[in-house]
Amino acid sequence: MVASLSELMTRPSPRAAELTWVILDIEGTTSPTAAIKTGLYEYARPRLGAWIDAHAGDPEVGAAVAQVRGAAGTEDVVALLHRWMDEDVKATPLKTLQGQIWAAGFAAGDLAADFFPDVAPALRSWTAAGLRLAVFSSGSVASQQSWFAHAADGDLSALVTAWFDTANAGPKQDPASYRRIAASLREAPARILFLSDTRAELTAAAAAGWRTVQLARPGEPGHNEPGHADDAEGVATFADVVLPAPIPPARVAAAGARIAVESARLAALGWMRGTSGNLSEVLSREPLRVAVSASGVDKGLLTAADVTVVDAAGRPVPAPGAGSRKPSAEAVLHVRIAGRTGAGAVVHVHSHSAVRAAARWPDGIVLRDLEMLKGLGRGAQDDEVRIPVIANSQDMTELADRFDRAREPRTPVIVVAGHGMYAWGADLGAARHITECADWLLAYALG
């Protein structure tokens, strides 16, 4: 079933994969069908023969013409191209030639792209929120890029990260095409959303594991497709697409300031030597966005600008107010901890007591009957507390998986052997307090 985007985005889905890509169809989705069928098609139609003659030495043109001849039999090449246009055949050689002609028309100022008025504001908002955009259209990549570059609202092509057509992805009604795109993007299908007005395309995308939403724009051919006009399966405009708003720059700056303050305190204790250690604070939950200290920065000298924002996979995302530095690779474990535990902040330090305790008790550190256990939210008497120990790894995803398997839900600390410890709490102050208490407890156990 094709769900509405507002439903996808607002219903509770704590276990759903975070959305990272929005893939756009063009005709009937971002732009009026008439602008393509009438404007572009009628521009290319009388120019096909002359273009082929004038660019006979172009290998791309030669290959396209050879493909047409292979299908034409006794029919004239240009006549077959015209017939394909009349029948709206999604033929790759036709799309190639049209794309070249359109690119020249845009460059000469003869053509201008036509987008629905709700599209440009939505695309800018989505990219500001950290989403990546791609296009999958039956038109050639060259024609897609020209179309987006010549929008009335300015050059929209800079917002698009990847371009796909029937030549590099495959037919739009074949699930295999959507699997190829996901593989090319190196992304899990469940993290990709496809917007199109054509139900058969959405069905193919859904079969490949993508999330899908149907555009039901009044006056467009797709509006009258079965399931469009009178039910809740489609949205009428991009303005109906409910996606997360960008994180306010002031929130990022405030998180950076708090991280800098706590970093200085922990560095003064000798737990963040050189540029080691890192801190993070959750900025939003849906989707998960985390401000994390930047890599390669002396934590005693960290400033509010020395943070970056990462997504649920630990990848940096655009965020006004964030610095341009690279996030620590350990951001992957920070976001895993925040996502699994609901913590508002995570602290990672390289304390001697944590490393020594893990070497002595590699299967976990057991503590009881100590007043300082209250600092971990546990009982001071008759409450056996186990701090898990996990093996170190330079593969942060592997380390995060080890955390998942070993964590004790009631104990907000975990020790990484030969490395240090992670502690988490409702906010940075709480996470620092837990870190301090855990270090005291480990030092006491070591004697």
Residue 13's CB is within 10 A of a number of other CB atoms, namely 11
CB-neighbour burial class of residue 86 (10 A; exposed 0-12, middle 13-18, buried 19+): exposed
Handedness of CA 293, 294, 298, 304 (dihedral sign): negative
Q: DSSP character for 191?
A: G
Instruction: Say what the pLDDT of residue 370 is.
Output: 96
Per-residue model confidence (pLDDT) at position 32: 94
Burial grade of 88 (CB within 10 A; 0-12, 13-18, 19 or more): exposed
Distance from C-alpha of 34 to C-alpha of 56, rounded to nearest angstrom: 31
Burial class (CB in 10 A: 0-12, 13-18, 19+), 325: middle
Closest alpha carbon to 183 in 393, 21, 367:
21
Tokens for 211?
């999330």
pLDDT for the residue numbered 286: 76
Cα gap 10→287, rounded to integer Å: 11
Q: Helices 175-185 and 199-207 meet at what angle, rounded to 10?
A: 60
Annotate 422-447 with DSSP letters as a single string: EEEESSHHHHHHHHHHHHHHHHHHH-
pLDDT, tens digit, for every residue of 22-49? 999 999 999 999 888 788 888 989 999 9
- Residue 174 backbone class (left: φ over 0; alpha: ψ -120 to 50; beta: rest): beta
CA distance 266 to 274: 12
- pLDDT score for 245: 67
- Say what the pLDDT of residue 413 is: 98
Cis amide prior to 287 (ω within 30 degrees): yes
Query: Residue 52 and residue 147: Cα distance in Å, rounded?
Result: 22
Nearest to 144 by CA among 180, 173, 169: 169
Question: pTM for this structure?
Answer: 0.61
Q: What DSSP string describes 134-153?
A: EEE-SS-HHHHHHHHHTBTT
Tell me which residues of the chain have a pLDDT lower than 70.
1-18, 222-233, 243-245, 323
Q: Are 187 and 15 in contact (CB under 8 A)?
A: no
**Helix spans in 15-118 (H):** 33-34, 41-44, 48-54, 59-72, 77-86, 92-108
The Cα 431–Cα 425 span in angstroms is: 4
Report the DSSP beta bridge partners of residue 120.
Answer: none
Q: H or E stretch including 121?
A: helix 119-128
pLDDT of amino acid 75: 76
| For helices 77-86 and 92-108, angle between their N-to-C axes, nearest 10 degrees | 90
pLDDT at 230: 35
Axis crossing angle, helix 331-341 with helix 396-406, rounded to the nearest 10: 30
**How confident is the model over 361-387, as pLDDT tens digits?**
999 999 999 999 999 999 999 999 999
Q: What pLDDT shows up at residue 244?
A: 62
pLDDT value for 386:
97
Q: Can you tell me the distance from the alpha carbon of 101 to that of 78, in angstroms, rounded to the nearest whole number?
A: 14
Starting at the edge strand found earlier in the chain, the sheet holding 160-164 runs 160-164, 132-136, 21-24, 192-196, 211-215, 234-235
